[in-house]
Structure 1
């Protein structure tokens, strides 16, 4: 049975215990270090002083027992000259003094001066041992700080791993579901806490998302099927009509236009279905699609737009380029690019160049602004001079198709003259 305690409670309890334990340990360590150092200092000072006093008494038995830790002198105004020169003019108070002893060693001591009743008293206290004790205390505290820092780091890592383990497990299960390609219930694997609540919310979101994707998939399949059926009837009917011997040239041309429009609609439906499924499909029977051939077909299908315009359409295939994609996908992309070039070019040339792993559509229209080149691929954005036709979706569809197959589509203004260059670089 998993614990039902809240994650927040576990975090608060863990860090409260951690802080309490750390404070107690630091207090105990500080008291121990202070007592230890102080005891060592007092013992060392007393032992050294008594040993030195015994040695002096042994060497000078007729003199009284003297201490080196604390020494006192008393002079009058007439005998003050016997005092060290640095002491003679000092007023009442306590001073920090530094000098050199008889052995040439630096000595640090406190000097208390009292002038009263015509007498001048001096009292010295050797603080060198205290300085040694302070250094030992500082060294000990630094060691304690380093020790507690390492201990805090270790405990923090352990606590964070322990407390955040459910979150890591949730992330791991989500990654496993992504690899498996399907979502499974998450809430049943976690306790009834914040992480369990998050897992339950993710389950609900995944269920809604799955249902929405299924509805979209069914809708796309139904629309694709319902649209392909009448388009197939139109294509078969136009094919039969074109075989009639009594057709006039004008009617035959109109039937070809109907056939091209039907084929373009079928290709567009297939491309949109691939986009809706985010499905990348290659050409049938492992074949590759010739870019120049598809470009030539698209140019022929777009020639009716050229009527009444002084425009020439040229195709220059400098070297063969093949792509691993259905001809319908490439046809939809090129139809939009070439159709836009013809639409915006009032006179001049629309040139389609194939080579070096790319295709470029170069026109002599009004051109585009450099800052608008990327914005034209957004949904609903139309170029200047578009008139009243179109919804601004053509280039957006081209961008999505190219992203699906790893191609790079872009537009830029011509540098030599008016016009724009649309290019697709095949990855």
Structure 2
């Protein structure tokens, strides 16, 4: 349930992947902006051009047809028998009252049309598509129809529309190329800054970035990163020096305590109660020594090596806890053989990691048993305690968090946080889940040993 991240996909790796994705998204946004801008402007220009063309063409055609139908009506009023002068692409039809019904028969689509200019489309006698504008003027003396052939105009409009669509596609592709080029130019210094920043992360002292960039926005960012790196390096250096000093200074009094306890334990006249107390002091001194060694490894972020027998560590941990159980009805046992699980790590690191899991199991289990089960390259700590709540499962490895069963027990809630950090350092994995029936199962999986060449 609560499970630290795999170091291969840890915070630094995830942040690096997020950074790469963000750079790709930023480049894509620039390209997309250019494409949308080019597409929007050219599409708008094409639409306005076509709309203006259609309006001008319709206005010109309607003006010509209105003037012609007026002229036809004027000529008919002067001399009904005189023929109408022909106009290019315009055919005039005049029907006197005795021929009104012939319009219904011969051209039914014209019969009910009101006065004005109408657009009509259809097919000619050969089945070819045709379009024309029809000017209608109906008077009691005669009905006037002027048909203006628009077939060629419609074909021209279609060709113009295809040309406009082609221009939109062409300018969109051009916008894509310009956007690609611009994004590469814009993101190039940012990518270079990210590469240099990534390469400088492997050194103990920060490498200045600002001298490699011009005095622009990226240069300002590089200066800010240089300043941040210097301040961060100082903080890390002070932290490491403090940890090293504390570890060194604490080892001296612990060594004195160890020597004094060993000297006292060597006296044969000691009574059993005093000897038990001295042994408890000796175990506490060893626990402090192991914890200091583990914290020093974490502060230096370096892996120590060794060949630690997990079964031996588990037995030592149980021996330390048996002396503190008192009348508590709790059995502590190890399932597995010595040498079954051997870890390439200092004994102090394994003791701290496994000791926190065992310590929590013993602390919160009031009766029953706590079992350390060895298997493969992993170890299970199984208890019969009160179990695990949903809140505990979600926050168990947070620094400073104390579980719902902690009540008034001592502890600052940093034990499992240290376990998580050790797992991240050594590539181990820790998981805590509820047991099948009751209690909790904590599993510590060690990194497999590298195969021999």
Structures share fold, TM-score greater than 0.5: yes
SS across alignment from 2:401 = coil
Q: Is the 8 A contact 1:68 1:126 kept in 2?
A: no
Q: 1:304 aligns with which of 288, 311, 323?
A: 323
Q: 1:100 to 1:198 in 2, by over 3 A?
A: closer
Bigger shift: residues 199-208 or 353-362: 353-362
Change (3 A) 1:392 1:101: closer
Structure 1 residues not aligned, in runs of 5+: 1-10, 43-63
Aligned to 2:228: 205
Give the counterpart of 1:230 among 239, 253, 258: 253
Contact 2:380 2:441 in 1 (8 A): yes
* Cα separation, 2, equivalents of 1:225 and 1:210: 22
Give the one of 279, 283, 293 matched to 2:312. 293
How far residue 354 of structure 1 moved from its aligned partner, in angstroms, is: 1.6
1:80-133 CA-to-partner distances (Å, cap 9, x unmatched) read 677644356765433334565454544432232334583443322111011111
The verdict on how the C-alpha distance between 1:409 and 1:374 changes in structure 2, with shifts beyond 3 A counting, is farther
Q: What is the correspondence of 1:15-414 to structure 2 with a 5 Å cutoff?
A: 69-78=89-98, 84-86=106-108, 87=110, 92-98=115-121, 101=124, 103=126, 105-116=128-139, 118-179=141-202, 182-283=205-306, 288-317=307-336, 320-383=340-403, 384-414=405-435
Q: What's the CA shift for 1:180?
A: 5.1
Partner Cα distance (2:102, 2:332) in 1:
121
- Mean Cα displacement is larger for which, 364-373 or 158-167? 364-373
Question: How many aligned positions are there?
Answer: 378
Number of the residue aligned with 2:442:
422
Q: Which has the larger radius of gyration?
A: 1
Alignment TM-score, normalising by the size of structure 1: 0.76
Aligned 8 A contact 1:238 1:258 in 2: yes
1:249 CA drift (Å): 4.8
The separation in 1 between residues aligned to 2:384 and 2:102, in whole angstroms, is 114
SS at match of 2:396: helix
Query: How many Å separate the matches in 2 of 1:184 and 1:422?
Result: 43
Aligned 8 A contact 1:99 1:107 in 2: yes
Structure 1's 345 and 129: CA in aligned 2 closer, same or farther, altered over 3 A?
closer
Per-residue deviation, residues 349-406 of structure 1 (Å, max 9, x unmatched): 2222222332222333333324423433323333425434222222222222223222
**How far has the Cα of 1:203 moved from its partner?**
0.8
Whether the 8 Å contact between 2:369 and 2:384 is mirrored in structure 1 is yes
Distance between the aligned counterparts of 1:191 and 1:240, measured in 2? 69
Q: Whole-Å Cα distance in 2 between the matches of residues 142 and 175 of structure 1?
A: 47
TM superposition shift of 1:142: 0.4
Residue 250 of structure 1: CA displacement? 4.7
Q: 1:204 to 1:133 in 2, by over 3 A?
A: same
Gap regions ≥5 residues in structure 2? 1-29, 62-83, 448-453
Q: Which region of structure 1 is more displaced relative to structure 2, 295-304 or 379-388? A: 379-388
Kept after mapping to 2: 8 A contact 1:112/1:124? yes
**Which is further off, 389-398 or 137-146?**
389-398
Cα-to-partner distance string for 1:264-320 (whole Å, 9 max, x where unaligned): 11111001111222222221xxxx211101111111122211223233222221681
- Within 2, Cα distance between the matches of 1:243 and 1:266? 22
Point out 4+ residue stretches in structure 1 off by more than 6 angstroms.
64-68
Cα separation, 2, equivalents of 1:396 and 1:89: 90
Corresponding residue of 2:20: none
Instruction: Name the counterpart of 2:65.
Output: none
Matches of 1:97 and 1:106, distance apart in 2: 11
Q: Select between 307-316 and 247-256 the one with higher mean Cα deviation.
A: 247-256
Change in CA separation of 1:273 and 1:155 when aligned onto 2, cut-off 3 Å: same
Compute the TM-score of the two structures, normalised by the length of structure 2.
Answer: 0.72
- The question of whether the paired residues in 2 share the 8 Å contact of 1:305 and 1:342 is answered with no
Checking the alignment, whether the CA contact within 8 Å between 1:374 and 1:411 is kept in structure 2 is no
